[in-house]
Structures are given as structure tokens and as C-alpha cells.
Structure 1
């Protein structure tokens, strides 16, 4: 007699870990998914199709001649116990997502036990603090600039703010962000950027000793500029 759940796709621990990683980053292009799972792009496409069949993820080509982008659906968030609001990709965010993913993949490859806190998680925590203040009848803290991620090499290590800069915000705005991260949030900062933008960031940092002591500037990994 056939089982009542025949044909049902059951989640593995690997599914849960990978879908959480993708949800934290908003989305992932299929070639980066292949890198994340340490397999071929063909294997990544099979995995995407499995998740789509289960209703956990969506994946499709959004830009002609580009690879499919994969993101977690509302059902995937619910089934995996991931407490984020559903998200749909926009063309404007795809390249930034790819660049931030490249940085996270590179950091985790160099330090497999490192801890990444995503911008999506930071936004959620900021909203929770604002909501808690309102529930107590207090003035909620103002929303402020959040890094693209926080990176810690160990649980007891001081986190470093990670900024991925693909479009220059101008000297004044960039300086304000740097000062906020260094002086208000008391963080060291790692900027990952393009060869075009890098000289602008270096000029700002070198002009102020208080920034130069806390900010380092790197290239975005693997040609994701």
C-alpha cells in the first residue's frame, strides 16, 4: 500500500542550512549557489529544481543572458522556521546582492568557523527595538545606516562591519557613514569595493586619523565589481 506522504519532499539539515543562508542574503545566483554547495552549476540547478518542486524557493532568469537567481519563498521561510518577511527580487538589487554574497563566500572560505550577521538580520533587529520601544510608550530609536554585514572570526571576537560599495555615494555621505560606524557603533570597518571607487574611499580614510585607525579597504572578490 503506498504511503500517504509518497512524493512529498522532506527537508534535510542541509536544505535548512542552505535556505537560511540564501534568505539571510536575500537571494543567490545559481553559480554562487554552486560555490556555496561545493559542486557544479548543474548540481546547483538540480537542487534549485528540487526546492521549487517543494515550494521552498523560486528561481528564474531575470536579466537576459544572465544565470537564474534563487530566493526563498513564503512557504520556504515558514517551513524552515526562518523569521523574515517574504522578499521578491528587484533588478536594481541583483548586482549588489551578488557582490555581498561574494564577500561572504570569501570570508567563510578563509574562516569556516567565522560568524556572519546579515544586513537582513540587522534590519530585523532594528525594527524589533523600535517596536519594543513603541509598545512601552517610548520614543523609538531612529533608524540608522546598517552595514551590509557583520563579521566575527569567533563568537567572542569584536565584530567588523562589512560595507560593499559598488556605486560611490559621494564624499559627504560616505564620510558620514564611516563616522557613524566607527564612532557611534564603535566598529572596525572593512570596505570591499571596485577599482574605480577605491581611490575615493582611500582619500577619505587617509584624510582623517580617526578613520584610518579603524577602516581597511579591499577589492570585491572574484571580479564581482
Structure 2
């Protein structure tokens, strides 16, 4: 007789053991990117940056699908700044009426970036002679412009130049430029953002210290200034060139100082040509850049020399044809 097979009780399939996810060490913290590190170090060296300049700085690392390759939108920039601020790396405040926000590193931000600078509160920057926000904005604009043209150029900030300097009582320190640029070919350029009028004699002394360096400063402590000038002719500072960026009125003032030093034989023609006086605000077109260069060449008399050389060359060609 047929006996049906006894049914085996159904068993539930063995369920896989749920995976346990280990909590990341950086859970709850924003991811830190190469762009973050680059931008925060840049800001730390420069004391601070305004939001519109930060758009250009962050634009060097545009995100996926970015519309532009040299800047990012204001909203995207504010998102980055908000993340930094939440991590306690930066301070963000509107320091100018109706102007964009300024951003600067907190003590924590400086430590995180490995920068050993003393904390500087930008809200107090206006109290320091020659270091107001307008001047800082100009220096940042100049640095951004130079780095856009020469990405491999190395910028040494005024903050880095100042670090470690100790002024003893009664001691005079060598004039410190607003920045120094070392180009890939080794050319070293001192940068000056000259936005206010100096006394003529004071400006001449700054120019000579930038041209002649420590040797001139040392001789000024040993002799009177005129003797120091006579003994320092031929000395050379580490700077191959000195670039002054200035508004129109100040440019005339700097050029007159350069002309006086050349006219009384304090400096040579070659030394005068090491001082280049450029526009600020910066040129916005190739035409303005050409006009800027022509303006300084005319002040040095270089255009006249070029025209004379062209005339002599033309005469030489004519003589050979005859």
C-alpha cells in the first residue's frame, strides 16, 4: 500500500548576519579637501581675504560640472566658508559697510594648517598704520593677478617676511615689501602696493633700501645719509626688480622720486629701470596693459631710446642699400 512521504517541516532560510559599519573617525566632521588646504594656507599667509577674492581663489579647483574654470559662484563660496566656520577654522564678518564678508583664520585654523603666525583679528587691522583693509585687498588682488599669469611663481607674503623679526629698542629695520615673488626662472621681485602719499624724502629712502638692501641700512647707522648713499652705490639687494602698484596720483609721486634719484646721480639708469611702476586698480584689458607699460617706459625715456634705435637701424639699412 502506498504510503505518502512524510512532509518535512519548513524551516526559514538562514538570514545573513547584518553588517556592522564601523563609525568613521571623521564622522560628523566635514570632509577636508586639497582645495580646502590650499585656500586656507593662502588665506593664513595673507592675513585674510574678502569673499569676492575667495571666489577666484577657490576657482583654481573648480568642482565637477562647474560653469567656469577660474572662479566659483558666490553661493558655492559661502557654502565652503560655512563649512570652515562650523569647524572653527575661520572667522567671518562684514567689515565694510555694504561690502562682502571678510574671512580670516582662527587660532585653531592656523594650528590646523601648520602656520606658526600670531593670530591677527582683522577687525583691529584698521588700527595698524598702513595695514588697513583697502591695502590688504590691493595686495591680495595683486597676488591673485600675478599667480593667474604665472601659476608656478612662488609668493612670499609680508606676514612670512615679518615672522621672526625682532625690533630692539632704537634699532631700525630694513624696509619690508608687501610681498616678494620668485618666478620660475629665478627672478625675484619685491611688490609694493602704494595707496597713500609718502613724504618725498621718506619715499626716496624706501626706494634705496629696496635697491641696495642691508648694506645701505647699515651705512646709514654708521654715517650720515648722504655719505651712506655715496658709499652704497653699486650695492644690490636680493631683488632683481621692484614693482610698485599705485593709483594715478601716487604713480606720479613715485616716478618723481625715481627721477630725482637718477637726476642727482644717486642711482644709475639700470637701477632706475629696476623700479617698475604699474597701475592700481589693475588693468582690465590688453589695451590697458599696453598703455600701462608705455606710460612707465615714457617716464623712463625708454620709448625715445627705442625710436632712436629704430631710426639708426633704418638709416643703416639705407646706407647698405646705397
Question: What are the superposed Cα offsets for residues 35-57 of structure 1, whole Å, 9 maximum, x if unpaired?
Answer: 11121122211111111011111
Greater length-normalized contact order (CA 8 Å, ≥ 6 residues apart)? 1
Q: Which of the residues 58, 74, 89 maps onto 1:56?
A: 89
Q: Does 1:147 align with 2:183?
A: no
Q: CA deviation at 1:125?
A: 4.2
Aligned pairs (5 A) from 1:7-156? 7-38=28-59, 39-89=72-122, 90=124, 92=126, 93-127=132-166, 142-154=172-184
Q: Contact 2:247–2:281 (CA<8 Å) still a contact in 1? A: no
Q: Equivalents in 2 of 1:206, 1:142: separation in Å?
A: 26
Q: Contact 2:204–2:261 (CA<8 Å) still a contact in 1? A: no
Q: Contact 2:89–2:106 (CA<8 Å) still a contact in 1? A: yes
**Structure 2 residue aligned with 1:191:** 244
Q: Contact 1:23–1:72 (CA<8 Å) still a contact in 2? A: yes
RMSD of Structure 2 on Structure 1 (CA): 2.3
Off by >6 Å, runs of 4+ in structure 1: none
When residues 42 and 79 of structure 1 are mapped into structure 2, their CA distance, relative to the original with a 3 A threshold, is same
User: Which residues of structure 2 form unaligned runs of 5+?
Assistant: 1-20, 60-71, 127-131, 215-236, 284-322
User: Which residues of structure 1 form unaligned runs of 5+?
Assistant: none
Q: Does 1:182 align with 2:203?
A: no
Q: Which of the residues 262, 267, 275 maps onto 1:215?
A: 275
Q: CA deviation at 1:152?
A: 1.4
Q: Contact 1:103–1:221 (CA<8 Å) still a contact in 2? A: no
Instruction: State the aligned residue count.
Output: 214
Question: What are the superposed Cα offsets for residues 71-100 of structure 1, whole Å, 9 maximum, x if unpaired?
Answer: 011000111111211110135211111000
Q: Which of the residues 174, 186, 201 maps onto 1:172?
A: 201
Question: What are the superposed Cα offsets for residues 17-52 of structure 1, whole Å, 9 maximum, x if unpaired?
Answer: 111101111110000000111211222111111110
**Structure 2 residue aligned with 1:204:** 257
* Higher Cα Rg, which structure: 2
**Structure 1 residue aligned with 2:234:** none
TM-score of the aligned structures, taking structure 2 as reference length:
0.62
Q: Equivalents in 1 of 2:255, 2:176: separation in Å?
A: 21
Greater mean alpha carbon deviation, residues 197-206 or residues 114-123: 197-206
Q: CA deviation at 1:222?
A: 4.0
Q: What SS does the aligned partner of 2:176 have?
A: coil
Question: What are the superposed Cα offsets for residues 96-148 of structure 1, whole Å, 9 maximum, x if unpaired?
Answer: 11000000001000100001000000001434xx7xxx9xxxx9x85332000
Q: Equivalents in 2 of 1:107, 1:27: separation in Å?
A: 18
When residues 30 and 201 of structure 1 are mapped into structure 2, their CA distance, relative to the original with a 3 A threshold, is same
Higher strand share: 1
